[in-house]
Structure 1
């Protein structure tokens, strides 16, 4: 996504730069600990330094970037505490989201998700597609929309960048086949129509992802393993 270079709306321009920097982090062009060089962005985007500094200030507020004396703006590294908080928060939000979604879902919604899942499954054998994280995210986002709970959806969108960042790392653990298999259960509980069971399955689904992240070995196993919420 390239910022609108001739926009007179400073707020929109700042939002575009924020999105650009986040996309660079998710894609791996910028990694935790990397410095965000303002002068490089000035040359790349053909804009002044002011909106870039405003964007960095916003990213600091969102805890995406840290400003370190004598080093500048650095992409924030994930800590063990960050990972625990992201997953445990997701478990609460998405447990409630699917509980409400079960009560709102229609036959048309189920057919749409089943068709989408079929297309996702077909990608397992497509060697040109390396990851299915966007497909997985679509299913989760669709469940949030089915909840018809605007605050839940806005809270999800607020932490979506952190979720994407964790998912990028977690892809080292998952094969495409595992990614597909993991999400069938969510569609099945939507079809079954039991809110209690749906919430239980979703919370277990999120917790299983957390345990898989623990197994990657990025952090001290004992530090992460002590955190349980199931």
Structure 2
């Protein structure tokens, strides 16, 4: 939903307008129109969209529940600024969820499922020499999301979905320093782990993969990550 296409007429009878506003705010954050620390003025947003404050308030409540918006006393809703502790919690939770997901996927994925990921990875490789493509971050995210799906674990999938936007935000920051070659290499190892069908090894590979990303983020931010020992991840 683009803000300039939202009119009173377009939302009359729309019971999911608050969900549309959630997606709008998320897109503005991803686009850099809203940045960590920026205020979201409910009255202003409602006026811009030509709607009442009620769905805006509902959207803010949902975003707050997802940890994307924080309500600051005397200031109101603001885009959350992730501290290093937040980043640690996001990555360490990913290590648990995705480690378990790939473990399950080694049992549940069909040969066709794995073949699809292998073909997708080959397409990623083909993009290495395409200068018009500057990032493979979305392709990498697709591989992770597919592994979650292949776990065939509904509650795990639901838990992962609840932090998925936070994952995207942190990955966006890290992805600015990532190279296409690194994305291809590091995500190829996940697919190879699935091919091997060794559940223990696949889980170790995934946990190492996510731990490495966390260390890269800490290095990017010049933060000492030694307090979070490798043994707490693997």
TM (normalized to structure 1)?
Answer: 0.91
1:156 aligns with 2:148: no
Is contact 1:2-1:16 (8 Å) kept?
no
- Deviation, 1:40, is 4.1
Counterpart selection for 2:100 from 82, 96, 102 = 96
Aligned twin of 1:109 = 113
The residue correspondences of 1:163-202 to structure 2 (distance < 5 A) are: 163-202=167-206
Partner of 2:188, secondary structure, is helix
Distance verdict in 2 for CA 1:97–1:7, change over 3 Å: farther
TM (normalized to structure 2)?
Answer: 0.90
Structure 2: any 5+ residue segments left out of the alignment? none
Instruction: Write out per-residue CA displacement over residues 106-137 of structure 1, whole angstroms, 9 at most, x where no aligned residue.
Output: 22112211111111122222222222221111
1:18 aligns with 2:18: no
Distance verdict in 2 for CA 1:174–1:53, change over 3 Å: same
Q: Distance in 1 between matches of 2:206 and 2:173?
A: 21
- Deviation, 1:93, is 0.5
Structure 1: any 5+ residue segments left out of the alignment? none
Instruction: Write out per-residue CA displacement over residues 26-67 of structure 1, whole angstroms, 9 at most, x where no aligned residue.
Output: 222211011223344234433222211221122222221122
- Deviation, 1:15, is 1.1
1:216 aligns with 2:220: yes
The residue correspondences of 1:126-165 to structure 2 (distance < 5 A) are: 126-165=130-169
Distance verdict in 2 for CA 1:7–1:180, change over 3 Å: farther
Q: Distance in 1 between matches of 2:48 and 2:70?
A: 22
Counterpart selection for 1:49 from 50, 53, 61 = 53
Distance verdict in 2 for CA 1:7–1:199, change over 3 Å: farther
Distance verdict in 2 for CA 1:61–1:107, change over 3 Å: closer
Q: Distance in 2 between matches of 1:126 and 1:25?
A: 28
1:120 aligns with 2:124: yes
Give the aligned length.
226
Partner of 1:73, secondary structure, is strand
Partner of 2:11, secondary structure, is coil
Counterpart selection for 2:13 from 8, 11, 18 = 8
Is contact 2:60-2:77 (8 Å) kept?
yes
Aligned twin of 1:69 = 73
